[in-house]
Amino acid sequence: MIKVGIVGGTGYTGVELLRLLAQHPQAEVAVITSRSEAGVAVADMYPNLRGHYDGLAFSVPDSKALAACDVVFFATPHGVAHALAGELLAAGTKVIDLSADFRLQDAVEWGKWYGQPHGAPELLKDAVYGLPEVNREKIRTARLIAVPGCYPTATQLGLLPLLEAGLADPSRLIADCKSGVSGAGRGAAVGSLFCESGESMKAYAVKGHRHLPEISQGLRQAAGQDIGLTFVPHLTPMIRGIHATLYATVADTSVDLQALFEKRYADEPFVDVMPAGSHPETRSVRGANVCRIAVHRPQGGDLVVVLSVIDNLVKGASGQAVQNLNILFGLDERMGLSHAGLLP
């Protein structure tokens, strides 16, 4: 059994991680931390987990207890993993970070977007960006894995085939993305209140969202050159889900885009390229570690529209973290993640 520690288990990604690991046959959660909820039983805080984690309670973070684990997940706000990751890595413990702390390879760029100096720039050389569809082989031998964000996962998976094939104009990319309210986290905030977000939809952070440099970093690597990306996120009145509508122009309109996407993801267990003409729905991936994609070329022109949907808490966070765990420890990549989405 893989002995698992979780730092920061009281947020939405933390409880989702617990839910997924509860059905994982090779993982055992031994330590889960929360300074504010120390001593509280996991099942008391999350009744949905009753019968799965009897006897497990939140505790104050202790580096020795965490270092005794085979792997530690950080389901924490940005900046927290900076302080503990180095100590755990030195002890031989693997680290899978769900926060943004190690996603960007440029420490100065990270500081610009997150409003504070990077706390562990010396670890960036060891960090592997945990998008399995791109970095699977690097993940297998990683010490430190940076789990991609939700918007970046949906956007990159949707645009990668076009950029890798050199078809899309890399200077004219648009990502029009919608997120459920759980993407804002569990902390109390006026904008996340039901009366504020229900029956409404709005764009935000049009000037610049923290996920922009992460998306740009991945797309730049795929294209092999600088890219121009306009990224506009929106808040929608649903709990879970990311819907990314992606636009790119192509010079060669003779390429069979459906075949291109199907070939690119033929061996990917968690990317579903839908039949031509499809319109994937966020509800089809709710609770599942799946990205569903459809590719269109309206009126047969040079504008390509890619539709990409994920559950922001699963393939966009905790499910992708478990997928990385499986790859890291040489397990079947689908272990603990093969369940279908929830309908209705």
Question: Are 248 and 172 within 8 A, CB to CB?
Answer: yes
Question: Are 235 and 173 within 8 A, CB to CB?
Answer: no
Which residue's entry shows tokens 């970070």? 97
Is the alpha carbon torsion for 74, 333, 126, 173 positive or negative?
A: negative
Alpha helices in the chain (DSSP H): 12-21, 42-45, 63-67, 80-90, 107-114, 132-140, 150-164, 194-197, 211-223, 257-264, 319-328
**Orientation of helix 150-164 relative to helix 211-223, angle to 10°:** 20
CA distance 288 to 313: 9
**The two three-digit tokens of residue 323, written as one number:** 């997928």
Residue 291 annotated as catalytic: no
Label residue 68 exposed, middle or buried (CB < 10 Å: 0-12, 13-18, 19+): middle
**The two three-digit tokens of residue 219, written as one number:** 């797309």
**Orientation of helix 150-164 relative to helix 132-140, angle to 10°:** 100
Angle at 126 between CA 123 and CA 132, to 5 degrees: 130
Catalytic option among 69, 150, 177, 291: 150
Contacts 24+ apart (CB under 8 A), 264-272: 264/160, 264/161, 264/164, 265/133, 265/161, 265/293, 268/132, 268/133, 269/333, 269/334, 270/132, 270/315, 270/323, 270/333, 270/334, 270/337, 271/133, 271/157
Largest CA distance in the chain: 62
**The two three-digit tokens of residue 140, written as one number:** 């297998």
CA distance 326 to 336: 9
Question: What amino acid positions are annotated as catalytic residues?
Answer: 150
